[in-house]
Structure 1
């Protein structure tokens, strides 16, 4: 418990994403092509407090996000066709963050209790929780395959660890990383941000060999990005969205300032490539 208390202090002092006020989640149509576009962005959370960390369901018909309910964050699910929002959890003693669809159809999410206890849980669709990784204080995670995740584990420095959720075995594979972890489309590798140098780098890693490759420098001061299904990098900075071109580096393609967004904090493109979710304040 002492370690978890220290980790809790680390979270609230060094990871402002868990206390960032008045963020909203926006959904827009997305046209990729050679010059990406977003069309008709709309605020789908429209809720006081912290609404953030959108993640699409595998069929692209809904998306998950963390939503403030009665002073705590809960897992919300927004249905695209109907526009309805379902609140999946009811955790008055804590809050859920980074909800993500699991390969088996459940939802994985970080739960931070008011006691400072922070663990990765699995939830079925009626909200019943089960601890997935009992020993690690995980801040962020991404599924690589059924039973294997890449994690951002709290500490000084923070470490990137590969975790087998069936055996709870974990292995440190990097330090000084960013919070944005993603499985790379059409690949067995995943990507992360390496913060060990003066310039932050988006890198890939093969989880079996641990071989890494440099992909791109991040936009200065930004670390949140996502992949389109076709393998294009999207990143936000300020109110603007950029895509990465091997020939011309990062190129701006959208500005959400007119929608009231001053700082983009998360981006996610739907598995069918037709929608983009943006969280920002």
Structure 2
């Protein structure tokens, strides 16, 4: 599965399971774990600049939502629906999101609200990139992606 370190001792784990994948939070200091219930989670797990866990909640087969979970308050917040068929995203230092769909990269800034939604940034088809499947941003804001 996939994982995301949330702090020096807390890690979120994506566990492949039936009928739904599971999301488990583990504290490596005291070996405690918490399974987040009633969530069909996607594989992409990220840490927000505020220390929250961001993931995709696959509510139904065609309704996927980027959601955050606050480890202190135990509250979920819906951020925005994903682009159709896309389940990988990255969070930039300013708290905004990027996501790929097909040949295109999109950006979403939560401070602008869902009214603006996902904004196209670039089309990579001119570089013979066709299906973006994974994204990562380095500490110095450089983007790496996996695509066909």
Look at both structures and tell me which one has the larger radius of gyration over its CA atoms: 1
Q: How many residues align?
A: 141
The answer for the alignment partner of 1:191 in structure 2 is 54
Matched, 1:154 2:7: no
Using the alignment, how far apart are the partners of 2:125 and 2:135 within structure 1? 15
- Normalised by the length of structure 2, the TM-score is 0.89
Shift of 1:239: 1.0
RMSD: 1.3
In structure 2, which of residues 79, 82, 104 is the aligned counterpart of residue 218 of structure 1? 82
Which residue is equivalent to 2:146? Answer: 279
Q: How does 1:104-253 map to 2 (within 5 A)?
A: 139-156=1-18, 157-174=20-37, 175-185=39-49, 187-197=50-60, 198-245=62-109, 246=113, 247-253=115-121
Unaligned runs of 5+ in 2: none
Describe the SS at the equivalent of 2:126: helix
**CA distance in structure 2 between the partners assigned to 1:170 and 1:158 by the alignment:** 16
| 1:195 alignment partner, SS class | strand
What CA deviation, in whole Å up to 9, does each residue of 1:65-106 have, x standing for no partner?
xxxxxxxxxxxxxxxxxxxxxxxxxxxxxxxxxxxxxxxxxx
1:244 and 1:218 map into 2 onto residues whose CA distance is: 10
Q: CA separation in 2, counterparts of 1:232 and 1:206?
A: 17
- Secondary structure of the 1:181 match is strand
Residue by residue over 1:46-76, the C-alpha shift from the partner in whole angstroms, topping out at 9 and shown as x without a partner, is xxxxxxxxxxxxxxxxxxxxxxxxxxxxxxx
CA distances 1:129-167 after superposition (whole Å, capped 9, x unpaired) = xxxxxxxxxx01101001110111121111111011234
Q: Which has the higher contact order (CA 8 A, sep 6+)?
A: 1
CA distance in 1, matches of 2:73, 2:21: 22
How many angstroms does 1:168 deviate by? 3.1
TM-score, normalising length from structure 1? 0.48
User: Aligned with 1:146: secondary structure?
Assistant: coil
Distance in 1 (CA, whole Å) between partners of 2:95 and 2:42 is 20
How far has the Cα of 1:196 moved from its partner? 1.9
Structure 2 equivalent of residue 257 of structure 1: 125
> SS where residue 258 of structure 1 aligns?
helix
